[in-house]
Amino acid sequence: MQFSTLPIRADIAPFVSAVWHCVDLSGALVGEALRVTPHTGTVLCVHLGEPVETEFEDRRPLASLNGIQDRIRLFRPAGATRTLLILLTPRGAASLFPSIGTEIAGNGIDLGGLLGDGEIERLRRHAAAAPDEVALGEAVFAWLRRRLERMPTLRAIDGLALAAERLTLDGASVADAARSVDLSVRQLERVFAEHLGLSPKRFQRVHRLQRSLYAVLSGEGDPIDGYADQAHQIRNWRSYLGLTPGEVGRRGVSSAGAQFLDSGLPSSVAVAHYL
């Protein structure tokens, strides 16, 4: 599978962290289990080739919305694949798909069931007809803009987005994040639950794990950052991954993971998506 990163337009950047174009037209990965790491981004998956088999109730959707995951998930290509992975920011997830956090957190749902099969087929048709990756990005971003224009503006989303950003900073507490947006901790917890499906504390822990995992797999950064000590790091890894940093380091990164790490994502939003 080959991964490439599509450039993001400035007007879409608050809502989308990254877009990857993933291509395996030879079917080399058919039946192989791709292990997707825990992450704090909601992922919009659009399959332009054969769908990928998931662990979720909707086994092989043509397009899916996968919420924040706090454990490893397995995905198995079932044929020649060509997939768009659109990584939404907390603002993007809440703005594009408000108030369904509890439905998608730790889960993935068929986007056709949510928006209608006709809507998804139009998106897939326009994206598949794009002659190159620039046009492919434009087709996707045009669809996202149209959806944003149809959605109501919710004041709570501004607070959620700013608090989520605050929670990714070293040393920040949930109380700090709540104060920064003039909410009580209880109010912030309700907003996170409604739109992202998990608590601010759990969001922070998954982000810390994601950053630590990226450091181990890429060799960039310090895997201990954000943890009190190595014992704290190991407990966190075992809780979410069932693995220790040493075990992951000895296994190394998979071929899909290595290509993903080299796909050109800016270091400011770099993530480890595959183990």
- At 111-137, the pLDDT tens digits run 999 999 999 999 999 999 999 999 999
Q: What is the pLDDT of residue 2?
A: 86
CATH code at 2-150: 2.60.120.10
> Per the structure block, which two tokens stand in for 236?
């966190």
pTM of the model: 0.94
Is the pLDDT higher at 130 or at 255?
Answer: 130
| Mean pLDDT (the chain, rounded) | 93
**CB of 47 closer than 8 Å to CB of 110:** no
Among 37-51, 128-142, 252-266, where is mean pLDDT lowest? 252-266
pLDDT in tens, 66-94: 999 999 999 999 899 999 999 999 999 99
Fold classification of 155-251 is Arc Repressor Mutant, subunit A (1.10.10)
Residues in the chain, overall count:
275
* pLDDT for residue 263 is more than 80: no
Compute the 3-state secondary structure of the chain and give helix, strand, coil in percent, each to the nearest 5. Answer: 45, 15, 35
Q: What is the pLDDT of residue 269?
A: 67
**Mean pLDDT of the 223-250 span:** 93
Q: Which helix (H) or strand (E) holds 261?
A: helix 255-261
> Per the structure block, which two tokens stand in for 237?
């890894």
Ranges of beta strands (E only) in 204-268 are: none
* pLDDT for residue 266 is more than 90: no
CA distance linking residue 24 with residue 12, whole number of Å:
27
* Helix and strand totals (H; E) in the chain: 12, 9
**Mean pLDDT of the 178-194 span:** 97
**Mean pLDDT of the 169-174 span:** 92
How is the chain split into domains, by residue range?
A: 2-150, 155-251
Alpha carbon distance, N-terminus to C-terminus of the chain: 14
The amino acid at residue 252 is G
44-82 as b/e, with b when 16 or more CB fall inside 10 Å? bbbbbbbbbebebebeebbbbbbbbbbebbebbbbeebb
Q: Which helix (H) or strand (E) holds 121?
A: helix 117-128
CA distance linking residue 124 with residue 130, whole number of Å:
10
Among 24-38, 124-138, 183-197, 223-237, where is mean pLDDT lowest? 24-38
Residue 267 banded pLDDT, cuts 50, 70, 90: low
Strand partners, 19: 86
CA distance linking residue 211 with residue 272, whole number of Å:
8
Q: What is the pLDDT of residue 256?
A: 84
Same fold, 2-150 and 155-251: no
Tell me phi and psi for residue 175, to 5 degrees.
Answer: -65, -40
